[in-house]
Structure 1
Amino acid sequence: MAKVHLTLQGKGGVGKSMMAAIIAQYKASKGRPVLCIDTDPVNATFEGYESLNVRRLEIMDGDEINSRNFDLLIEWIATEEADDIVIDNGASSFVPLSSYLIGNQVPDMLAEMGHQLIVHIAVTGGQAYEDTVNGFEAIVSQYPQTTLFVIWLNPYWGPVQSSAGIPFEKSPEYKATLKEAKGRIAGFVVVENLKKDTAGRDFGEMLQSHLTFDEALGMESLSIMTRQRLKLVKKGFYDQLDNLPEI
Structure 2
Amino acid sequence: MTTKKEAVATETKKETANMKNTVHFILQGKGGIGKSFVSALLAEYIKTNFGTLAAFDTDQENTTFAHYKALSVKQIPVMTPSRTIDSKKFDALIVDIMETEEPCVIDNGANTFSPLLAYMIENDVFSMLKDAGKRVYIHSIIGGGDNLIDTANGFNSIIQGVGDVPVVLWLNEYFGSTDSNGKEFTETTLFKNNSTLISGVVTLVERNRDTFGDDIKRMLSQRLTVSEAIASDKFNIMEKQRIKTVARDVFNQLDSVEF
TM range (shorter): over 0.9
| 2:23–2:104 CA contact under 8 A, matched in 1 | yes
Q: Does 1:170 align with 2:190?
A: no
Amino acid at match of 1:148: P
Which of 129, 150, 156 is the matching residue for 1:110?
129
How do residues 86-105 of structure 1 correspond to structure 2 at under 5 angstroms? Answer: 86-105=105-124
Structure 1 Cα separation of the partners of residues 245 and 147 of structure 2? 27
The aligned length equals 239
The answer to whether the aligner puts 1:235 opposite 2:248 as a matched pair is: yes
Structure 2 stretches of 5 or more lacking a match? 1-19
Aligned amino acid, residue 241 of structure 1: L
Aligned to 1:2: 21
Q: Which residue of 2 aligns with 1:77?
A: 97
- SS of the counterpart of 2:167? strand
Measured in 2, the distance between the counterparts of 1:81 and 1:136 equals 28
Partner-residue secondary structure (3-state), 1:65: coil
Post-superposition offset of 1:63: 5.7
Residue 48 in structure 1 maps to residue 67 in structure 2: yes
Cα distance in 1 for residues equivalent to 2:129 and 2:85: 19
Query: Higher mean Cα deviation, 191-200 or 164-173?
Result: 164-173
Shift of 1:41: 2.5
After TM superposition, the score normalised by the length of structure 1 is 0.93
The separation in 1 between residues aligned to 2:245 and 2:143, in whole angstroms, is: 22
1:197-236 matched pairs, under 5 angstroms: 197-236=210-249
What is the alpha-carbon distance in structure 1 between the residues aligned to residue 194 and residue 99 of structure 2? 34
Deviations 1:91-139 (A, max 9, x none): 1111111111001100000001100111000001111101111111111
- Of 147-156 and 56-65, more deviation after overlay is shown by 56-65
1:31 aligns to 2:44 (yes or no): no
**Equivalent residue for 1:66, pick from 68, 86, 91:** 86
Alpha-carbon offset, residue 64 of structure 1: 4.4
Query: Structure 2 length as normaliser, TM-score?
Result: 0.88
For residue 120 of structure 1, the aligned residue among 134, 139, 143 is 139
For the 8 Å contact 1:120–1:149, the answer to whether it is kept is yes
Where do 5+ consecutive residues of structure 1 fail to align? none
The answer as to whether partners of 1:63 and 1:96 remain within 8 angstroms in 2 is no
The answer to whether the Cα contact below 8 Å between 1:65 and 1:100 also exists between their aligned partners in 2 is no
Quick one: percent identity of the two aligned structures?
Answer: 38
Any idea what the Cα deviations from partners look like across 1:121-165, whole Å, max 9, x if unmatched?
0001111101111111111111022x1100000011110122x33
RMSD after superposition? 1.3
One-letter amino acid of the counterpart of residue 209, structure 2: K
